[in-house]
Structure 1
Amino acid sequence: MRFHTRIFSILFCLSMLLVGVAVAQDEPTTLRIGTTYMIDTLNPANGFYGYAIRPLWYDTLVTWAGGDNFEPSLAESWSVSDDGLTWTFKIRDGVRFSDGSRLTAEDVAWNIRWLIENEVPSMIGYLNNVEDAQAIDETTLEITVSEPVPDMISAKLLYVWMLPPSVWQDLNGDDIVELDDPIATVGSGPYILTDYQEGEYLIMEANEDYWRGAPPVDQIIYQEYATEDALVQALLAGDIDVVISVPGSGAQALIDSEVVEVVTGNDVILEELIINSSPEGTQPASLNDPVVRLAIAHAIDKQGIANVGYLGYAEPATTVLPTAMGAFHNSEIEDIPYDLDAANRVLDEAGYVDSDGDGVREYSDGTPLEYRLYAPDSDAYYARILEIISQDLADIGISTLPTVMSDDSLLALQVDYDNDLIYWGWNFDPDPGFALNVFTCAETVDGGWSDSGYCNEEYDALYQAQSTATDPDERREIIWRMQELLFEDKPYIPVVYPLSISAYRSDRVKFSPEFATQPLYWALYNGFSFVDS
């Protein structure tokens, strides 16, 4: 999935952050970052995790600066034609990939055409409505679209990594996604991968020839920890300098420390209960019944989960778009209240009875309402949340077996929709386009982003409409209706919007108070410094 550990993390664009910060130190500098999951694959073509790390290796045309602010990156400036069909970008001169090859407007155009022609899984979803890209000269790029689009800068170009043709141009089909070699990390970013041990650590060194100048931090080390408790203890012990995504369960221990600074804020994070909605899925037929889905929604104690699972560092969710998305969040949707009596009543009225007295209701074909309930094992709080959900479902006659497993195992089950209920989360993009795309029919194919298997023609039509609605109010209205459809059909039951919590060793580094809610690069541009020893 993504944040899923997926978290499209706040580490995004450390590539920019760690550039241009004056650090007066004689000795080489190292920034040690702790996490419970680093990356799924070194290959950006089929990497659905690693949005915390990949910006250190690859550049994009534009970059996110927090909130609704977007800044130039490889593109120094841009303009759009009066008819909205042609976008012109001024590409920086003198940029090189870390293998020494040049990066010109022609290379950018080749990247975009190559991604479209080969339908590269991890990036093709961002380029809907993009028809072509051509270099006018070495520093001028033109991108043409089939219809005017509202999100060229806010979404489409944010995560289209610029890859060197010297590595990728001779690869086609399966060869693209099967490339399993550190050469896949060659890019024009500020860091170069030098060592990687899957599930343990990742080391990268500064690219001294980076176009913004040599990064002020000479070495970055990512260290992966097996549990969130181990991660928190590592920061307290001084084994690492920064934790970008702190689990709510560990926040208080860090707050109590005199050498750790904790910052929090609202972010575009959703944690949800996924209900398998695929026509090809292995879920019991009863789980497709809207009545059963409504009863499950009534049995989810969102506030209790926020209090116990996140120790209060979360708010109950109502729709798939977090409140941090501002006007795009449909604030008029009234949530289904936690009410076990109401849950039991709707099941009673629909004829779901416990005929054999074992505490589990039966479907019309006699099969019990028994469902698999999964979550990743990357964070300890997931197990606690599964226990809460399982107990409440038992109280309405639905049996579940709570099971946590590795992210890779869970992803494998999702590919074939071989599951019933999964509790997981997303750290979405700043623009709602990606979050909404997850529920389109096109994303249910192998390699797609859909984790629920949901497919609705009306929803797809609305998705296409919002993707070309250049009037902000019109686009907002369409997106509100899309949230209503998802609320009605329930491929997800949105559970909480967790606060973003970050922490760092205040005796070593300093960040601004906005550190938790902005991309790391922006935080470093605005208040980052090393603490003098």
Structure 2
Amino acid sequence: MARPRTGWLAVVSLIVGCSTGGSGSEEPTAEAPDVSTVTVAMTASSEPDTGFDPVYGWGSASHVHEPLVQSTLIKTDVDLGFENDLATDYSVSDDGMTWKFTIRDDAKFTNGNTVTAKDVAFTINEVVTNTGAVADLNKVKEATATSDTEVEIAMKQPDNTLLYTLAVLGIVPADEYGDNYGKNPIGSGRYKLESWEQGKQAIFVANPDYYGEAPKMERLVVVFMDEDAGIAAVKAGQVDVAYVSATHADQHMDGYKLFSAKTVDSRGISFPVVPEGSPKREGMDGAEHEVGNNVTSDRALRQAMNYAVDRDVLADHVLNGHGTPAYSVADGMPWASDAMKVETDVDKAKTILEDAGWAEGDDGVRVKHDGTRAEFTLVYPATDPVRQALAAEFANQMKEIGINITIEGKSWDDIYLIQTTEPVVWGWGSNSPNELYSLYHSQSTSNTAAYESNTIDEYLDKALAATDIDESNEYWQKAQWDGTTGVTPEGEATWVWLTNIDHLYFVRDNLNIGEQKPHPHGHGWSVVNNVDQWTWES
């Protein structure tokens, strides 16, 4: 969630002297005088609340990214395949209950100590046992160092998505970890944290003792500011890279190009599928919440909205072409189901409603025989103009089939209170199939639709337990639709997926930011995953 920040003028004035784009004079310049430094403007909400601590979510929170300061056991390449980082080898038992990793013996923390299996086991166990931890290791029982270079992970239940989490979980030193670690992190990654001025900026410098290829970009300055301030900093030539949303991207910036990163970052609407008064559920905030909505609990209504929405209009006009239609949380991924994709068919939507007893009322809003009107409030985060625009256009489109929607912006704190009683425009997307489990398993706290199906739970559990990736993907797909049961528009239609969002950045013309792997949900740190490979071109 975004937090109040100091004014952007103060932040920009702070970075003028260190920015690659400013010389400290009155006139900004589009040239970069320091080829070893880059300055990146990120949204204020990108600043980690608890510092650069992997246990509390640095790298491994809901917006996953590489932790930079720390090494990880495994990493992913640009095609999202797995590669070794600290690990030199790994294996999993036939029953999926034991993982074994061998780690390299030449990695050192920035305090000079060698990274050992003890540190790996400590990090994993700290996440497992710490109630404030964020990384998803809930299926891990315990990690044990069996030697200086070997560690075993015992599972509570099989989880073949474990590697995706380990690829973003930075390893911390067992003997140096404490309450202040987030402010003064010790790691073995490509960079060291040189300084952090909370609410303003963080500066990273290349780690001279890094065991891998030395970073080409020696210094990274990250300034935290709201989008408008970031755009102003671009206009002033004071930052080299700045995030911009689709609604503000079509403006020309002298000395900068618009860079579009492909993503797995979907926007969709969750609809409570049970009526009011249903048993309370634990939500994403860990609290118990009321559950149910007497309008959206009607399956025909949800199905009709899935067929009536014109996703092309949303992508082309609301996103100004900086996105694509979304049909699921996993479009384009190996675990996606083709059954989630449906074409816009307003006539079919109307027929579904009429067959289910939703008759058109005198004012154009459909009404059921019991007097229930086809109208509800759609909630979006008040600080997100893109979700607001998507909500407004969706509401406008639904008028054609007789559904009246009022949109309302709320704070995240307020959204969590109504997450299982009102439809909400959410952002989801990850390089891991575990998001399907999060959204659709009956025991998941992220299942805001309150959807429960023993059949789907069984598919999801089998998907996690499978040690063969192809077999696993088959179960992930069946969990979406097996021909008779599932969450597709033809089935329970628990969500209406709207668009996939491209991540957009203004990038200085002579800065090469390399080949970017697909960005997951969240538009902060993912862009600097490969900052060590960035270069200035003459």
| TM-score computed with the length of structure 1 as normaliser | 0.77
Please name the residue that 1:316 is paired with.
Answer: 325
Match of 1:133, SS state, is strand
Aligned pair in 2 of structure 1 residues 363, 282: CA closer, same or farther (>3 Å)?
farther
Please name the residue that 2:338 is paired with.
Answer: 331
Match of 2:126, SS state, is helix
Q: Counting helix residues as a fraction of each chain, which structure ranks higher?
A: 1
Matched, 1:438 2:443: no
Matched, 1:426 2:438: no
Q: Is the 8 A contact 1:274 1:493 kept in 2?
A: yes
Matched, 1:272 2:271: no
Please name the residue that 2:166 is paired with.
Answer: 157
Q: Report how many aligned residue pairs link the two structures.
A: 478
Q: Is the 8 A contact 2:328 2:340 kept in 1?
A: yes
Counting only pairs closer than 5 Å after superposition, residues 80-479 of structure 1 correspond to structure 2 as: 80=92, 85-93=97-105, 95-97=107-109, 103-118=115-130, 121-123=133-135, 125-126=136-137, 128=139, 130-145=140-155, 150-153=160-163, 155-166=164-175, 182-183=182-183, 187-189=187-189, 190-192=191-193, 194-198=195-199, 201-206=200-205, 208=207, 211-212=210-211, 217=217, 219-227=219-227, 230-243=229-242, 246-254=244-252, 257=253, 259-264=255-260, 266-277=262-273, 279=278, 280=280, 281=290, 283-323=292-332, 325=333, 327-335=334-342, 337-339=344-346, 341-353=347-359, 357-363=362-368, 365-405=370-410, 409-414=411-416, 417=419, 419-429=421-431, 431-444=432-445, 449-479=446-476
Q: How far, CA to CA, are the matches of 2:467 and 2:384 in structure 1?
A: 40
Please name the residue that 2:502 is paired with.
Answer: 499
Q: Is the 8 A contact 1:375 1:423 kept in 2?
A: yes
Aligned pair in 2 of structure 1 residues 435, 98: CA closer, same or farther (>3 Å)?
farther
Identify unmatched segments of 5+ residues in structure 1.
Answer: 3-23, 170-178
Aligned pair in 2 of structure 1 residues 472, 137: CA closer, same or farther (>3 Å)?
closer
Q: Is the 8 A contact 1:226 1:378 kept in 2?
A: no
Aligned pair in 2 of structure 1 residues 351, 167: CA closer, same or farther (>3 Å)?
farther
Q: Is the 8 A contact 2:420 2:449 kept in 1?
A: no
**Structure 1 residues 34-67: Cα deviation after superposition (integer angstroms, max 9, x where no partner):** 3363146226555485746771343321112221
**Structure 1 residues 108-147: Cα deviation after superposition (integer angstroms, max 9, x where no partner):** 1122233223465522x3452x443211222222224467
Match of 1:108, SS state, is helix
**Structure 1 residues 196-246: Cα deviation after superposition (integer angstroms, max 9, x where no partner):** 444xx331332646534775545433334434x554453344232123x54
| TM-score computed with the length of structure 2 as normaliser | 0.76
Instruction: Note the C-alpha offset of 1:102.
Output: 5.6
Q: Is the 8 A contact 2:69 2:185 kept in 1?
A: yes
Q: Is the 8 A contact 2:264 2:518 kept in 1?
A: no
Q: Is the 8 A contact 1:126 1:434 kept in 2?
A: no
Q: How far, CA to CA, are the matches of 1:32 and 1:75 in structure 2?
A: 30
Q: How far, CA to CA, are the matches of 1:208 and 1:181 in structure 2?
A: 18
Match of 1:387, SS state, is helix
Q: Is the 8 A contact 1:38 1:222 kept in 2?
A: no
Give the superposed CA RMSD.
3.7
* Amino acid of the structure 2 residue aligned with 1:497: N
Percent identical pairs in the alignment equals 23
Q: How far, CA to CA, are the matches of 2:294 and 2:176 in structure 1?
A: 47
User: Which range moves more in the overlay, 182-191 or 70-79?
Assistant: 182-191
Q: Is the 8 A contact 1:61 1:75 kept in 2?
A: yes
**Structure 1 residues 297-342: Cα deviation after superposition (integer angstroms, max 9, x where no partner):** 233221111111111222222233111x1x3222244415241x44
Q: Is the 8 A contact 1:42 1:184 kept in 2?
A: no
Give the structure, 1 or 2, with the largest relative contact order (CA under 8 Å, sep 6 or more): 1
Q: How far, CA to CA, are the matches of 2:351 and 2:103 in structure 1?
A: 62
